[in-house]
Amino acid sequence: MNTALSWIKAYVPDLDVTAQEYTDAMTLTGTKVEGFECLDKNLEKIVVGQIVSIERHPDADKLIVCQVDIGKETIQIVTGAPNVKAGDKIPVVLDGGKVAGGHDGGPLPEDGIRIKKGKLRGIDSNGMMCSIEELGSDRNMYPDAPELGIYILPEDTPVGADAIEVLGLHDVVFEYEITSNRVDCYSVLGIAREAAATFNKTFHPPVIEPSGNDEDINDYLKISVEDTSLCKRYCARMVKNIRLAPSPQWMQRRLAASGIRPINNIVDITNYIMEEYGQPMHAFDYDLLAGHEIIVKCAKDGDTFQTLDGQLRKLDHTVLMINDGEKEVGVAGIMGGENSKITDDVKTMVFECATFDGTNIRLSAKKLGLRTDASGKYEKGLDPNIAEEAVNRACQLVEELGAGEVVGGMIDIYPVKAEESRVKFEPQKINRLLGTEIAPETMLEYFKRIDLSYDETASEVVVPTWRQDIHCMADLAEEAARFYGYDKIGTTLPTGEATTGKLSYKLRIEEAAREVAEYCGFSQGMTYSFESPKVYDRLNIPGEDAIRDAIVISNPLGEDFSIMRTLPLNGILTSLATNYNRRNKNVRLYEMANVYLPESLPLTKLPDERLQFTLGFYGDGDFYTMKGVVEEFLDKVGMYKRPHYAAEVKKPFLHPGRQAEIAYEGRCIGYLGEVHPDVLDNYKIGEKAYVAVLDMPSVIPFTSFDRKYTGIAKYPAVTRDLSMVVPKEIPVGEIEEMIEQRGGKILEGYELFDLYEGSQILAGFKSVAYSITFRAQDHTLEEKEVTGVMNKLLNGLKGMGIELRA
Amino acid sequence: MKEQLEKIKSEALARIDASDALEKLNDIRVAYLGKKGELTSVLKSMKDVAPEDRPKVGQMVNDVRAQIEAKLEETKQALAKRAREEQMKREVIDVTLPAKKAVTGHSHPNTIALKEVERIFVGMGYEVVEGPEVEYDVYNFEKLNIPKGHPARDEQDTFYISDTILLRSQTSPVQVRTMETRKPPIRMIAPGRVFRSDEVDATHSPSFHQIEGLVIDKNITLADLKGTLAEFARELFGEDTKVKFRPHHFPFTEPSAEVDVSCFKCGGKGCRFCKGSGWIEILGCGMVHPHVLEMCGIDPEEYSGFAFGVGLERIALLKYEIDDMRLLYENDIRFLKQF
């Protein structure tokens, strides 16, 4: 919301502050000033001049030479402006002065434009006559300004006066951020009331004089409200013998400063009231209202209606409409209809000033895709008690501006009157909540400034109807706090029972995972939780696969962000692809984020959010590099047992021969593998990539941060080598499992030290060699102990069809 | 005999002096002191010496041996020292050649910022908790004093799954879940992903992170909230950071405030970074609304509390001077490596 300071001062005449002081103080009492613009910025030495005479420039067809009276003297100015004539009063910037912009109305330079005297085609020019654009404004604010040329001031303007003052440009326009609870501050009067309270000055709202002729509006018009829940109040007054004309300059400027283009006196008055009171109004052409009747009721499903912007709108039974005796003439609170709009031929009109239900207006505006200034005001929920004052103020302005003849009386349909509310005054509780010691009288004084009165006998604060946000002690506490000053409230730390600061166990495991990943060279990525359903095609997932059953967002930002991911891979692969595309080498990324698995669809309960530790890389390394990272992690979180890797997983996005499921104590905890070349193609990754996914909810039950010292071996180890010829299809993992099973207590470890397939080995076989270490904790091993175990191992090998290498 | 010994001695010492390598010293040792060495052979010829002279001759032999040994040892040490020195000279390296660094990965800037925040609050006795990202409307809105039809619902353009289930638009539902399941005193922070239907640009993302904070206990005051957040701001942005509280509105707190910190680039004088104001807005906060306490089963007559919510990306962008939010979700390694 934008408002000129001069308009605020109209109601708080004693206000005398700089723009910065105003900004700071208002912000600290809760009316946040987002910024301000001084309208006289870069306007220096600009006075009212009068053109005494004009001659043609001897050497230039398009230039003229003017003698301009600026009060103390007459100066010569050369101009190319086509619109001036002798006798015109114009703004003149003198030698050494400044204007805000160029005559083309382009963006204003930060420091303005300095004007110096000089020669134009050999003729002295001692200043410049100004267009409205050069004065930093535009034709919206000054509709009387010519499209091209010098701004002509009214004839009665005193020569030599400060032209900026005359134009009303010694003003500041403030931009406010009003919070949604302060409906009353979406109006100049609301802000003025806050300004008066903030600076402790007297607030002078407009004094509304009775208006209207001896006639009675009821003789002209009949109004009925069918749906009183959606229309709490409907006030109407009428104006006849309308004389459309431009509104006065003061009104035009106030509107323009608020960002509203002046049109004519009647339109401007309705807009002025909307700004001043925050109350939207609508004007109907009385002669276009069939039956001279207004009925407020909801549309019927399937109705269509042409709003005054020419658009055809589809309606349903929830949209509140204004009807005449025959037809719909306006969408209540949002926009009038093409069929009843005010034209230049209007003779008699009806001012509507109603209080429509905020929620209904908001929903209708959304449904119709039509948000207007009016609906924006209604959405917040207006105080019905403003309507009457606002429409009377409008009629007062009609009379003041001579815009027409106001018909006497008002039609006011107001079945349930909004009453003031009351809140118990509990100063001790307020102080206890704030941590302050504000005297009760001081609190009451603050309240009085914003028209909250005090009923001493009942110890209750009486809240006017425009303050719909005050219901309880905490609300009063805020009112007290903001005028006491948030900055004056002390700074303490909570006392009371001590609490333990800690991370949850899950978060500690996540931290360990991150540490391992980063230690292994993986950097942390973050990607979106929602993605495109096309991701499944990219990942080679078959059409009927259950993993495609993802939660669908009903109002997504387009298809690319429309489902909640059920697989974590798209994020990491997309990020790898981004890096690949940017020619980054050896990229290793990980992500720690959820997938969302619905129990059933459509969703009736919250999905299973499963944290996935996803790693991916391309560049240096292979499958076993990734496997190493997985095992580093398992070690780090205390999972010392041997994980089992099963090759037959059939993840369609992984290379069929280079993938494994990772199981721990018989439970699947994740998988890893080389990304399927088709998938690499889909993501446009031009080299092999590897991924691993650990399902953290499956991992966490096996984790532990407990560590126990088991001593350092005192007795020597014995090492034996086993060189064998193994059928190719037997994975070494099976040999290792056999070694672990049969190795007994004295088995300390084993290490694969040679693996060979090739010309010296029979086709279909591979040569595998292990170095096996034995050690006892309590004695030096004897030969026969070792031989005993070795025999068991040899038997085991035999059972697997493996022979020792000759 | 004596002359013979003198001769052996002077010969031996001269040879030692002339030695330039450790092996040569060993040869000399063998030649004079070894089993078949010259001095040993003198001892062997002791049988030819008159018995009464034997102690004297023995003494002389031992003296010569001792002198040779001493000289040998001395020279050996000198040679070893010289050899080590030469080795050191040979082994001089160019210390300015490139380092061999272990290739480690980097945390996401969001995570680094989050760890900072967690460290501060855990130190003040706060527990770090989590809540679901796909959430019931009741928790995201209704129990936070934002009933159906409330205008605040429009301020946070929310992604819906169904009428009752949505993607949480704030971490505040974790407040509700915590209050419903725990008894005061409560001190917690809840970091996590939130979602709002904002188109992606330099300052907006439909998915971002917040950190919610909640304290519920007896006699918690607005002054406590101010003190806590002032402490937080100083820890996060530096000891000289000043904090400004401005009244604001959130449906689930009353009184409510927005918090600005003095610009940590210009110290509050006003610069480009703070758009000339000297202040940077960082979070929203307030005293938990009594109605919210009630809805969560906490008696507002007995307990009070405060809550705050910080945008994690906002802190990361500010602290690390990242000028485009999209960088946070692209995961370009050249970006991530800078953290």
> Residue B333 pLDDT > 70, yes or no?
yes
> Residue A148 pLDDT > 90, yes or no?
no
Tokens for A610? 């499963």
What average pLDDT is seen over chain A?
94
Task: Give pLDDT, residue B57.
Answer: 82
Integer Rg of chain B from CA: 42
Task: Give pLDDT, residue B56.
Answer: 84
What's the mean pLDDT in A401-421? 96
Helices (H) and strands (E) in chain A, counts: 20, 40
**3-state DSSP helix/strand/coil % of chain B, to nearest 5:** 45, 20, 35
Contact present, A367 and A356 (Cβ < 8 Å): no
ipTM (interface pTM): 0.87
Helices (H) and strands (E) in chain B, counts: 13, 9
| Domain B109-336 in this protein, CATH class | alpha beta
Superfamily of the domain at A217-413? Phenylalanyl-trna Synthetase, Chain B, domain 3 (3.50.40.10)
**CB contact burial A522-544 (16+ within 10 A = b; e otherwise):** bbbbbbbbbbbeebbebbbbeee
Residue A119, SS3?
strand
Selecting from B118, B291, B336 the residue whose C-beta is nearest the C-beta of A523 gives B336
Higher pLDDT, A253 or A634: A634
Q: What angle do CA A487, A435, A464 make, to 5 degrees?
A: 75
Per-residue confidence band for B288, with pLDDT thresholds at 50, 70 and 90: very high
Judged by average pLDDT, the poorest of A449-453, A640-644, B151-155, B292-296 is B151-155
Per-residue confidence band for A662, with pLDDT thresholds at 50, 70 and 90: very high
Could you report the per-residue pLDDT of A243-279, keeping only the tens digit for each? Answer: 999 999 899 989 988 988 899 999 999 999 999 999 9
Per-residue confidence band for B156, with pLDDT thresholds at 50, 70 and 90: low
A434 has a chain B CB within 8 A of its CB: yes
Cβ partners under 8 Å of residue A801, min gap 6: A727, A730
User: What are the residue ranges of helices labelled H in A227-368?
Assistant: 249-257, 265-277, 358-368
> Residue A578 pLDDT > 80, yes or no?
yes
Chain A residues 441-500 with a CB less than 8 Å from chain B: 469, 472-475, 477-478, 481-482, 486-487, 489-500
Name the burial class of residue A610, with classes exposed (0-12), middle (13-18) and buried (19+) by CB atoms within 10 angstroms of its CB. middle
Could you report the per-residue pLDDT of B88-132, keeping only the tens digit for each? Answer: 999 999 999 999 888 899 999 999 999 999 999 999 999 999 999
- Between the two ends of chain B, the Cα-to-Cα distance in Å is 85
Task: Give pLDDT, residue A795.
Answer: 93
Quote the crossing angle between the two packed helices A505-519 and A623-636, to the nearest 10°.
140
Number of Cβ within a 10 Å radius of residue B233: 22
What's the mean pLDDT in A582-598? 97
Per-residue confidence band for A235, with pLDDT thresholds at 50, 70 and 90: very high
CA distance, residue A475 to nearest chain B CA (Å): 6
Name every chain B residue with its beta carbon within 8 A of the beta carbon of A493: 124, 224, 227-228, 231
CA distances, A720 to each of A326, A803, B89 (Å): 105, 16, 44
Name every chain B residue with its beta carbon within 8 A of the beta carbon of A186: none
| Domain A2-39+172-198 in this protein, CATH class | alpha beta
Per-residue confidence band for A78, with pLDDT thresholds at 50, 70 and 90: very high
CA distance, residue B314 to nearest chain A CA (Å): 16
A609 has a chain B CB within 8 A of its CB: yes
- Return the CATH architecture of domain A718-804: 2-Layer Sandwich (3.30)
Selecting from A363, A492, A553 the residue whose C-beta is nearest the C-beta of B224 gives A492
Could you report the per-residue pLDDT of A474-493, keeping only the tens digit for each? Answer: 999 999 999 999 999 999 99
Backbone phi, then psi, for A92, in 5-degree steps? Answer: -125, 125
Distance separating alpha carbons of residues A199 and A195, to the nearest angstrom? 6
> Residue B54 pLDDT > 70, yes or no?
yes
> Residue B64 pLDDT > 90, yes or no?
no
Backbone phi, then psi, for B293, in 5-degree steps? Answer: -55, -50
Distance separating alpha carbons of residues A604 and A236, to the nearest angstrom? 49
Q: Which residues pair with B18 in a beta bridge?
A: none
Name every chain A residue with its beta carbon within 8 A of the beta carbon of B155: 180
Name every chain A residue with its beta carbon within 8 A of the beta carbon of B104: 518-521
CA distance, residue A280 to nearest chain B CA (Å): 18
Site from A557, A588, A591, A599 to mutate, B interface, most B CB atoms within 10 angstroms: A557
A532 has a chain B CB within 8 A of its CB: no
Site from B332, B334, B339 to mutate, A interface, most A CB atoms within 10 angstroms: B332
What average pLDDT is seen over chain B?
91
- Give the amino acid at A29: T
- Give the amino acid at A475: D
What's the mean pLDDT in A432-454? 96
What's the mean pLDDT in B257-284? 88
What's the mean pLDDT in A615-624? 96
Task: Give pLDDT, residue B276.
Answer: 82
> Residue A580 pLDDT > 80, yes or no?
yes
A503 has a chain B CB within 8 A of its CB: yes
Distance separating alpha carbons of residues A428 and A30, to the nearest angstrom? 23
Site from A489, A504, A700 to mutate, B interface, most B CB atoms within 10 angstroms: A489
Per-residue confidence band for B155, with pLDDT thresholds at 50, 70 and 90: low
CA distance, residue B189 to nearest chain A CA (Å): 10
Task: Give pLDDT, residue A350.
Answer: 96
The domain segmentation of chain A, as residue ranges, is 2-39+172-198, 44-166, 217-413, 421-487, 505-702, 718-804
Task: Give pLDDT, residue A144.
Answer: 84
| Domain A421-487 in this protein, CATH class | alpha beta
Chain A residues 268-287 with a CB less than 8 Å from chain B: none
What's the mean pLDDT in B160-169? 94
What's the mean pLDDT in A749-775? 92
In 3D space, the residue among A317, A316, A234, A327 whose CA is nearest the CA of residue A282 turns out to be A234
Task: Give pLDDT, residue A549.
Answer: 96
CA distances, A26 to each of A29, A30, A452, A485, B183 (Å): 5, 6, 19, 11, 39
User: Matching CATH topology for A2-39+172-198 and A421-487?
Assistant: yes
Could you report the per-residue pLDDT of A511-525, keeping only the tens digit for each? Answer: 999 999 999 999 999
Site from A32, A491, A570 to mutate, B interface, most B CB atoms within 10 angstroms: A491
> Residue A104 pLDDT > 80, yes or no?
no
CA distance, residue B211 to nearest chain A CA (Å): 14
What's the mean pLDDT in A536-559? 95
Inter-chain residue contact A602 with B162, CB threshold 8 Å:
yes
What's the mean pLDDT in A746-768? 91
> Residue A147 pLDDT > 80, yes or no?
yes
CA distance, residue B121 to nearest chain A CA (Å): 7
Name every chain B residue with its beta carbon within 8 A of the beta carbon of A433: 221-222, 287, 304
> Residue A710 pLDDT > 90, yes or no?
no
Chain A residues 398-427 with a CB less than 8 Å from chain B: none
Contact present, A63 and A70 (Cβ < 8 Å): no
% residues pLDDT > 70 (chain A)? 100
**Structure-token match 């095992």, residue found:** A631
| Domain A505-702 in this protein, CATH class | alpha beta
Q: What's the CATH fold of domain A44-166?
A: OB fold (Dihydrolipoamide Acetyltransferase, E2P) (2.40.50)
What's the mean pLDDT in A148-176? 92
Distance separating alpha carbons of residues B27 and B16, to the nearest angstrom? 10
% residues pLDDT > 90 (chain B)? 65
Number of residue pairs across A and B with CB atoms under 8 Å? 257
> Residue A425 pLDDT > 90, yes or no?
yes
**3-state DSSP helix/strand/coil % of chain A, to nearest 5:** 30, 30, 45
A698 has a chain B CB within 8 A of its CB: no
CA distance, residue B85 to nearest chain A CA (Å): 39
**Structure-token match 């979180």, residue found:** A637
The domain segmentation of chain B, as residue ranges, is 2-90, 109-336
Chain A residues 13-72 with a CB less than 8 Å from chain B: 27-30, 32
Q: Which residue of A has its CA nearest to B197?
A: A557
Per-residue confidence band for A680, with pLDDT thresholds at 50, 70 and 90: very high
Q: Which residue of A has its CA nearest to B167?
A: A553
Site from A482, A486, A566, A590 to mutate, B interface, most B CB atoms within 10 angstroms: A486
Q: Which residues pair with A689 in a beta bridge?
A: A618
> Residue B154 pLDDT > 80, yes or no?
no
Supply the pTM of this predicted model: 0.86
- Between the two ends of chain A, the Cα-to-Cα distance in Å is 92
What's the mean pLDDT in A426-431? 97
Contact present, A616 and A691 (Cβ < 8 Å): yes
Region of A98 please: left (phi>0), alpha (psi -120 to 50) or beta: beta
Region of A744 please: left (phi>0), alpha (psi -120 to 50) or beta: left
> Residue B149 pLDDT > 80, yes or no?
no
Number of Cβ within a 10 Å radius of residue B4: 13
Name every chain A residue with its beta carbon within 8 A of the beta carbon of B138: none
Distance separating alpha carbons of residues A109 and A98, to the nearest angstrom? 11
CA distance, residue B210 to nearest chain A CA (Å): 15
Cβ partners under 8 Å of residue A744, min gap 6: A789, A792
Selecting from A478, A492, A528 the residue whose C-beta is nearest the C-beta of B254 gives A478
Could you report the per-residue pLDDT of A313-354, keeping only the tens digit for each? Answer: 999 999 999 999 999 999 999 999 998 888 899 999 999 999
Name every chain B residue with its beta carbon within 8 A of the beta carbon of A29: 247
Name the burial class of residue A227, with classes exposed (0-12), middle (13-18) and buried (19+) by CB atoms within 10 angstroms of its CB. middle
